[in-house]
Amino acid sequence: MKPRVAIYGGSFDPFHYGHLVPTIRAQETFEFDAVYFVPAGKPPHKEGEPLTPVTHRFAMVALATLPHRGFFTSDIEVGAQGPTYTVDTVRRFRQKFGNAALYFLMGSDSFSQIATWDRWEELIEICHLVVLHRAHMWGDELRARIPEGTAERIVEVAPFSRVADPEKQTIYLLDHEPFPISATSIRDRQREGVPIRELVPHEVFSYIEKYRLYRREEEDDSRADGR
């Protein structure tokens, strides 16, 4: 059996349990030899939107995944000068890991928009996809949004089931229990002073508090002025 290497790319702004818990379920199901989290450098779909510096996002992911065996954080996109595209990142992992079976993890909300991704047809030819269950995008609605021709590659997988090495590139729908939280809602809660401690790993919470991330600008200004 080939070594199994998983790649999970995302903005991770911030990294939260909705990222971590489903990845643990995927690890338990597919028995990955390694999972590499890749904080996006300059994601083209976020162009023009405010994004926390990648150095902060990388640090939060690294701290949160450190206790988990086989979980690693990759800096492959940290120093990127221009837009970073998933297909290019996956190709770099292919060069690094040679004959390993590559799996790319993504939320079902992202998978529903895959037709908008740069060179998405190439992506599904060079790795398997593992689609993680997002509560608001699953089942018939998800299948209705994906490009023609991809449905025939889909295999539904229950957590903890045994997954054999496929003969061709496959799209797996991992039907785990969804974790209903988003990075956007966490940022909004932090700005409004609503607790987020139960939504993010404690290492991430401590980092956010220490570096005063996602706070209102006027609050930061008042602290800087000593008020």
pLDDT class for 203, splitting at 50, 70, 90? very high
Burial environment of residue 53 by CB neighbours within 10 A (0 to 12, 13 to 18, 19 or more) = exposed
Mean per-residue pLDDT, 173-202: 96
pLDDT digits (tens, 9 = 90+) for 57-79: 999 999 999 999 999 999 999 98
Give the domain ranges of the chain: 4-224
Output the pLDDT for position 50: 83
Output the pLDDT for position 161: 95
Mean per-residue pLDDT, 32-46: 88
pLDDT class for 47, splitting at 50, 70, 90? low
Distance CA(58)–CA(61), nearest Å, equals 5
Check pLDDT > 50 for residue 120.
yes
Residue 142, phi then psi, degrees to nearest 5: -65, -45
Check pLDDT > 60 for residue 221.
no
Mean per-residue pLDDT, 112-121: 96
43 vs 183 pLDDT, higher one: 183
Per CATH, the number for 4-224 is 3.40.50.620
Mean per-residue pLDDT, 24-36: 98
